[in-house]
């Protein structure tokens, strides 16, 4: 038989073999050329070394005392109006700080520091005060108010109102509605005075999603901005309407991420210490995301990266002066212009808000990170922060990076975060859906709560 005749006889087999080879060739070609795209945001995947998260446990004695030291701030700084000063000695407040106050009241009640009666008195007064605040263009509260007479204050920030603050307040309302449903009516009533939906225009133009007031949403401002805040605020603001939820999770925003020691972390500033540059991270929004709403993969991954970066930088830094960076809580410089009307005047160039003080040890971050990730490093940091309080006044913001002196500020947010972190340790995250049984009966509280 000749070769060609053999081939003819075997043509079906050959066809099959050729077909397989063709198919495999196509497959290899497609596989090789179709590179799997890197996830644009690597933190949407939980890393290999992500630790086990701590389970709730009883507080120990020291923690019980620390909680009471934090609560003392609110005892001292609650004003007649029902709202709380942003910081000791600073007679003004913002929505953010009042949200901190509401969460502090809830935390103190859950930890047995205040009883039902005091809880009710404070909560009602605060919610009522919020509901009578004068509003910006009738929709949303201003940035800062005087705590004495609830009049809005002109500040040197370049925003008139803050959606981030509204987001925190809505988060606080979320907690109230789940855990203290008897306050639903009062919360609804407070919100009914505002028109938050009007802030989100159901329109999309070709460059960016805009809010009604032509303020490009979450553009960087000098009040509270950054990726962390946008992640955190989304939890609360998405309650408003569908468009708000979409706008907030649209990732066309600019983020400032840097790679430090191989880990990608959000950076809010930098600091020179002993001629080395260190990244400064505002941990606060990530801490709050974990303590209140609970982590998702993204916030968990970012948080874990932050902690790892801090630990490695601390071990390498000379004399461990870098411990866990953060910022002092913002204190506004009130504009020298005083206006009588409800409209805020635009700030002038020479009025700058007070620069945010960089901290080498942030008390609220120390407590928050320990509660969320109970590791030896976070425990060590919290221990370092454990004497940063003034007896009778509450917790300081931390240790200032440049001067290495304790910060002079005692703020509502720091003390609230400490209380929240201790509730987290004892019970888990603040939004908890089936936990009414934990605290409706009268708390067995310490008699010394005078």
Partner 1 sequence: MRLLPFNLPPYLRIFGHFVVSVLAVAALLLGGTFSAQAEKLPAQGYPVRHGELTEREKAVANRAWEFFVTNYQPATGLVNAVNNYPSTTMWDTASYIAALIAARELAIIDKPEFDKRMIKLLGTLNTIPLFRNQMPNKAYNTITAQKVNYVNKPGEIGFSALDGGRMLVWLRAIKERYPEYANSVDNIVLRWDFTNVIDGCGTMYGAILDGNNQPMYVQEGRLGYEEYAARGFQLWGFNTCQASRPEPYQFADIYCVMVPYDSRDPREHHQHNYVLTEPFILQGMEFGWGADKTNAQEKAAITPEWIRDFADRVYQAQENRYLITGMLTARSEHQLDRAPYFVYDTVFSDGYDWNTITDKGEFVPETSAVSMKAALGMWTLWNSPYTDRLFDTIENATEKGKGYYEGLYENGSGPIHEFTANNNGIMLEALLFKKEGNLLKLRAQNSQASDFVPSIWNQKLLNVFEENNKRLNRPFISADKGTRSWCQRTGVALREAPACSACQCAQCNGDQPVKLPPALSSCTKP
Residues at the interface with partner 1 (CB under 8 A): 58-61, 63-65, 68-69, 72, 110-112, 389-393, 423, 426-427, 438-439, 443-444, 446-448, 450
Runs of H (alpha helix) within 137-201: 163-179, 184-192
How far apart, in whole angstroms, are the C-alpha atoms of residue 387 and residue 357? 20
Report how far apart, in Å, the C-alpha atoms of 393 and of each of 110, 363, 408, 423, 436 are.
Answer: 21, 15, 12, 21, 31
Q: What is the 3-state secondary structure (H, E, C) of 367-392?
A: HHHHHHCCCHHHHHHHHHHCCCEECC
Considering beta carbons, is residue 262 or 448 the nearer one to partner 1? 448
DSSP string, 212-278: TTS-BTT---SSS-SHHHHHHHHHHHTTS-HHHHHHHH-TTS---EEEETTEEEE--EEEEETTEEE
CB atoms within 10 A of CB 244: 23
Considering beta carbons, is residue 191 or 390 the nearer one to partner 1? 390
The nearest distance, CB 389 to partner 1, in angstroms, is 8
341-345 LR contacts (CB < 8 Å, sep 24+): 342/134, 342/136, 342/152, 344/136, 344/142, 344/152, 344/154, 344/155, 344/160, 345/154
Considering beta carbons, is residue 262 or 391 the nearer one to partner 1? 391
Considering beta carbons, is residue 418 or 443 the nearer one to partner 1? 443
The nearest distance, CB 67 to partner 1, in angstroms, is 8
Q: Smallest Cα–Cα separation from 49: which of 367, 305, 432, 280?
A: 305
* DSSP code at position 290: I
> How many angstroms from the chain centroid is the CA of residue 113?
25
How far apart, in whole angstroms, are the C-alpha atoms of residue 23 and residue 17? 10
- Enter the tokens of residue 89: 């000695």
Considering beta carbons, is residue 239 or 390 the nearer one to partner 1? 390
Considering beta carbons, is residue 64 or 177 the nearer one to partner 1? 64
How far apart, in whole angstroms, are the C-alpha atoms of residue 245 and residue 260? 31
Considering beta carbons, is residue 73 or 218 the nearer one to partner 1? 73
Considering beta carbons, is residue 64 or 196 the nearer one to partner 1? 64
Considering beta carbons, is residue 3 or 441 the nearer one to partner 1? 441
Contacts of 31 (CB under 8 A, 6+ apart): none
The nearest distance, CB 89 to partner 1, in angstroms, is 15
């Amino acid at each position: 038989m000749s070769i060609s005749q053999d081939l003819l006889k075997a043509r079906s087999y050959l066809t099959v073999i050729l077909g397989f080879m063709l198919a495999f060739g196509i497959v290899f070609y497609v596989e090789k050329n179709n590179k799997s795209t890197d996830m644009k945001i690597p933190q949407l995947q939980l890393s290999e070394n992500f630790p086990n998260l701590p389970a709730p446990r009883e507080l120990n004695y020291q923690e019980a005392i620390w909680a009471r030291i934090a609560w003392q701030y609110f005892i001292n700084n609650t004003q007649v109006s029902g709202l709380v000063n942003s910081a000791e000695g600073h007679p003004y407040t913002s929505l953010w700080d009042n949200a901190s106050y509401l969460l502090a009241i809830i935390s103190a009640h859950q930890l047995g520091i205040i009883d039902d009666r005091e809880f009710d008195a404070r909560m009602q007064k605060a919610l009522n005060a919020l509901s009578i605040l004068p509003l910006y263009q009738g929709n949303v509260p201003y940035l800062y108010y005087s705590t004495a007479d609830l009049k809005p204050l002109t500040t040197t920030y370049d925003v008139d109102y803050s959606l981030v603050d509204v987001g925190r307040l809505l988060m606080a309302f979320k907690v109230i509605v789940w855990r203290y449903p008897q306050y639903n009516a009062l919360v609804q009533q407070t919100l009914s005075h505002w028109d938050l939906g009007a802030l989100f225009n159901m329109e999309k133009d070709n460059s960016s999603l805009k809010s009604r007031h032509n303020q490009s949403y979450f553009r960087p401002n000098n009040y509270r901005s950054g990726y962390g805040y946008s992640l955190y605020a989304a939890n609360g603001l998405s309650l408003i309407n569908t468009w708000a939820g979409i706008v907030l999770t649209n990732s066309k925003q600019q983020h400032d991420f840097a790679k430090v020691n191989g880990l990608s972390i959000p950076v809010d500033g930098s600091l020179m210490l002993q001629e080395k540059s260190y990244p400064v991270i505002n941990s606060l929004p990530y801490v709050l995301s974990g303590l209140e709403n609970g982590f998702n993969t993204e916030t968990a991954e970012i948080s874990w990266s932050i902690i790892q970066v801090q630990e490695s930088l601390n071990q390498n830094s000379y004399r461990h002066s870098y411990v866990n960076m953060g910022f002092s809580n913002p204190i506004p410089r009130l504009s020298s212009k005083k206006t009588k009307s409800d409209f805020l005047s635009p700030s002038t160039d020479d009025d700058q808000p007070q620069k945010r003080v960089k901290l080498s040890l942030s008390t609220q971050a120390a407590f928050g990170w320990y509660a969320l990730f109970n590791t030896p490093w976070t425990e060590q940091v919290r221990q370092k922060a454990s004497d940063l309080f003034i007896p009778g006044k509450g917790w300081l913001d931390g240790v200032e990076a440049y001067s290495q002196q304790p910060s002079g500020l005692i703020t509502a947010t720091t003390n609230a975060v400490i209380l929240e972190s201790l509730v987290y340790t004892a019970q888990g995250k603040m939004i908890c859906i089936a936990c009414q049984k934990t605290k409706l009966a009268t708390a067995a509280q310490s008699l010394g709560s005078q």
